Structure 1
């Protein structure tokens, strides 16, 4: 039911200061709400928290790949109390990627807050036999490398390129901001997705075009960076290829943490407040008359939150940027939940988790045969994915994403040193793996491989700093259900309408934002999620006309 807006400014509380919480906070301030973000940790970012060590290293703890810079520009361009922004989602220079091809990262307002720089190649993908593929989105460069690696697949690449572009235009440009809140919205797009062959699995989709196992990996691995198994995510995720090709891959000087701090600064300039060390224990829910809820039937309304320690904070609306499953399982009383019951939430398939090693090492003068972003694949691909996602066991081998930001930005390490992290997909804690036992073993195996395969020669003798996190960190410190790293796994039956909704079906004035809800994980998707959730709030609080006038229906 839409609300009328009296003269008193509505009070909004956001649980969590990740990219979703910060992006939504900026949007709510621009819509005229008074917004407070409550953050459990001692600094902003959530999974994108940045750590500074006493010995001079700076580590981004989470996301490091920045794409779609105009999403960031749109946030920095918002003003306090301006209402719904009137600019189109995709101006012409954005659609053509004109600025990116000119080597420009971000727009004029972004540069007031943070400096983005383009990264080329996007990734160096190293295979187990010592060969590699530099993935940069340039069709000519891609064709040249395919001709060297698997010349018989050149024609297949042309077909893949055309079909991935069609999926990108329909799935991202036209449907990207669609909130699938009802079945009819979903049914209207199903024929298009079937026509585009976007509902088969991504790995099956790429296998139509490429016979080379290496090229099948090159054009399917990216979903692992958002928690998706290429063997089970729908082929609509082939659009990632075109998202990166159109707008590039970027880096914020100072690390992703610099972008997080810039968004926090923008939020506070608009009048928002962030409180750290403010852990939310419960979302306060009553019936429509303010009485305690005793049944999941009837009207249920979010009235505020209770912090750990007992303090209650009233609010007109509450938004969770926390883990979707634990938001409901831990913070919404079971008697207030009918749709998001314990049974439904626990039945959802969660994404895999991660072991992430943060390390610093001395630069001994030997050049590193690495790039800023590196994908180092093990000897097995499909079998390893089945072990991680299906069997939930640690395999005899592993693949990893190695991030060496000091190749671009030396400021993240002491002089004469490099800062790096390497991320290894592993099963979530539904596996029962004892990470206190298995974590150190896997860390040693990873460091040995990096050294012995020549990725970082003499690494263990050059190490100056070493720490790591396991799924236990995601489950404990970041409060994610089963220690998942990306929310519900983006399978076909957990996408679009079947992915958790941004407006709670159970509790009025309760909303969700971030990787766990629509459209999904990954920094650009989380920023899209914030815009979706802001639109729903604007509709519910009487700003429908502003939203209707600014957002054409592209369905």
Structure 2
């Protein structure tokens, strides 16, 4: 794998790093910076950790993960918990033999030995129950034999196509994930070096077109393409390299953190603070402070520009040797980096980027009436249309008469998330982002009622309204206003080919020295495993830039007598 040379030496005087945002990316990078020897402060505008992965506890005893719920590649989590101060291990293999050769855990506890010191991970089987509009189901569990049996029952004509798809998706996984997954495409030659292989693997055509080569049944085309919706990608437009998601799940399984994803977030926060890191909540950032190399204000986007720290919303200045944004990529530049300091990431370029879809998410609790639920932990409820619905959401940016859902019922695995005799659940509906101009105060309640109607259908949750004990929901306005996401996008820039690899926002700012980015908005992309990989990418860039060098002194205008 091509990897930039770097040094892992612990700085002689700990350098000060400020990370904006305590999401998965910010916490993961904070752990890595502490292992590199930095003194790291994370500032977060919310009242707790997680960002998009924030966990909410209600007065009536329910616990809801507000965002991601699918955990894959548990070795990425184990790697973080194994880090120690002064032992960054950035040169160790990204996918060592013990990770590649270990059998997938299908029962019991699935986390590694250090993970178990912090959080309990368990495997989920099947990964997803996919329910089609006609009531038929497909339980996807990553087992080729089980998959073959179900294809034979639903679309026997597609069995030969599955064998070919399995072979070719595995090749994409090998090249696109195992070999290129941690590559930071910071320059054109790095990207061009990968192009011939991706063309040979047919990984640049759209994912839906790729799956359609192998499957004639609409159902099978949906089964093997829907997963990109969980990272904000339209199967009709994302490149086929995302077929590797199928093999990421098949290789390492799908897992759940007992106590919810929030338990994993709190475990990462605990590891970060054990390594000496600090977190401040209720500390929103108003501005990333940028000067020229002599400490003077920047008046035009030419010449040296250097990040010196941040100014919080209350006016407090926090100086730093480097700043990392785990916030929304677009709003980091549009709202927090002075316009005069931006040449590459100008307003024009940032606003022209295609943002991912948004979400309406309904969080609800209901009484268990003793009737066994014909559901699994993760459920995909597909509507009567697929391609037309995706075109409405991503292209036309309208709400049609149809919708599909991801229904999450974690209390089937972990009853602790609800009061005794009750279930906690959420259902997630892909919708257009706020570039649509939709008035969510008006259309939100209407869509919620339509969704509840659909959940009461036979085989899902009959009589749900009579059993509801808790109901709340969020719309794209939550992503825009509470999570400060540009246009209320839920996953950052849309992962189309024109916004992939070198063309996706970079983890090292092209405009401002000492400014870095991490998380869903930059390379490699959205999804919890990608965000944790993003943290390792960014840590390597920082180690390359800072290893063993003397710290810059702070100019007086951004100095502070107290570093909190």
Partner in structure 2 of residue 117 of structure 1: 122
For residue 5 of structure 1, report the CA deviation from its aligned partner: 8.1
For residue 104 of structure 1, report the CA deviation from its aligned partner: 4.5
For residue 394 of structure 1, report the CA deviation from its aligned partner: 0.2
Say if 2:51 is the partner of 1:21: no
Cα distance in 2 for partners of 1:279, 1:218 equals 41
Of residues 490, 499, 505, the one that matches 2:504 is 499
Partner in structure 1 of residue 348 of structure 2: 343
For residue 351 of structure 1, report the CA deviation from its aligned partner: 0.1
Contact 2:207 2:238 in 1 (8 A): yes
- Count how many residue pairs are aligned between Structure 1 and Structure 2: 544
Say if 2:366 is the partner of 1:361: yes
For residue 89 of structure 1, report the CA deviation from its aligned partner: 1.5
Of residues 526, 531, 537, the one that matches 2:536 is 531
For residue 364 of structure 1, report the CA deviation from its aligned partner: 0.3
Partner in structure 1 of residue 469 of structure 2: 464
Q: TM-score, length-normalised on structure 1?
A: 0.96
Tell which deviates more after alignment, 395-404 or 444-453: 444-453
Partner in structure 2 of residue 164 of structure 1: 169
Partner in structure 1 of residue 84 of structure 2: 79
Gaps of 5+ in 1: 545-555
1:231-255, CA deviations, whole angstroms, 9 ceiling, x for partnerless residues? Answer: 0000000000000000000000000
Of residues 422, 437, 456, the one that matches 1:432 is 437
* Paired residue secondary structure (1:398): coil
Of residues 291, 298, 302, the one that matches 2:303 is 298
* Paired residue secondary structure (2:27): helix
Partner in structure 2 of residue 178 of structure 1: 183
Partner in structure 2 of residue 92 of structure 1: 97
Cα distance in 1 for partners of 2:453, 2:44 equals 37
Contact 2:524 2:534 in 1 (8 A): yes
Partner in structure 1 of residue 133 of structure 2: 128
Partner in structure 2 of residue 10 of structure 1: 15
Contact 1:355 1:423 in 2 (8 A): yes
For residue 84 of structure 1, report the CA deviation from its aligned partner: 3.6
For residue 122 of structure 1, report the CA deviation from its aligned partner: 0.1
Say if 2:241 is the partner of 1:254: no
1:199-231, CA deviations, whole angstroms, 9 ceiling, x for partnerless residues? Answer: 000000000000000000000000000000000
1:413-443, CA deviations, whole angstroms, 9 ceiling, x for partnerless residues? Answer: 0000000000000000000000000000000
For residue 397 of structure 1, report the CA deviation from its aligned partner: 1.0
Say if 2:343 is the partner of 1:320: no
For residue 512 of structure 1, report the CA deviation from its aligned partner: 0.1
Contact 2:12 2:548 in 1 (8 A): no
For residue 96 of structure 1, report the CA deviation from its aligned partner: 2.5
* Paired residue secondary structure (2:196): helix
Contact 1:350 1:488 in 2 (8 A): yes
1:264-290, CA deviations, whole angstroms, 9 ceiling, x for partnerless residues? Answer: 000000000000000000000000100
Q: What is the alpha-carbon root mean square deviation over aligned residues?
A: 1.5
1:181-216, CA deviations, whole angstroms, 9 ceiling, x for partnerless residues? Answer: 000000000000000000000000000000000000
Residues 134/2 of structure 1: CA separation in 2 closer, same or farther (3 Å cut): closer
Cα distance in 1 for partners of 2:62, 2:11 equals 50
1:337-393, CA deviations, whole angstroms, 9 ceiling, x for partnerless residues? Answer: 000000000000000000000000000001111000000000000000000000000
Partner in structure 2 of residue 549 of structure 1: none
Say if 2:289 is the partner of 1:281: no
For residue 85 of structure 1, report the CA deviation from its aligned partner: 4.1
Cα distance in 1 for partners of 2:182, 2:255 equals 22
Q: TM-score, length-normalised on structure 2?
A: 0.95
Say if 2:69 is the partner of 1:64: yes
1:151-186, CA deviations, whole angstroms, 9 ceiling, x for partnerless residues? Answer: 110000000000000000000000000000000000
For residue 105 of structure 1, report the CA deviation from its aligned partner: 1.0
For residue 3 of structure 1, report the CA deviation from its aligned partner: 13
Residues 185/86 of structure 1: CA separation in 2 closer, same or farther (3 Å cut): closer
Cα distance in 2 for partners of 1:4, 1:247 equals 32
Alignment of 1:364-443 (within 5 A): 364-443=369-448
Gaps of 5+ in 2: 1-5, 550-564
* Paired residue secondary structure (1:208): helix
Residues 524/543 of structure 1: CA separation in 2 closer, same or farther (3 Å cut): farther
* Paired residue secondary structure (2:167): helix
Cα distance in 2 for partners of 1:357, 1:543 equals 49
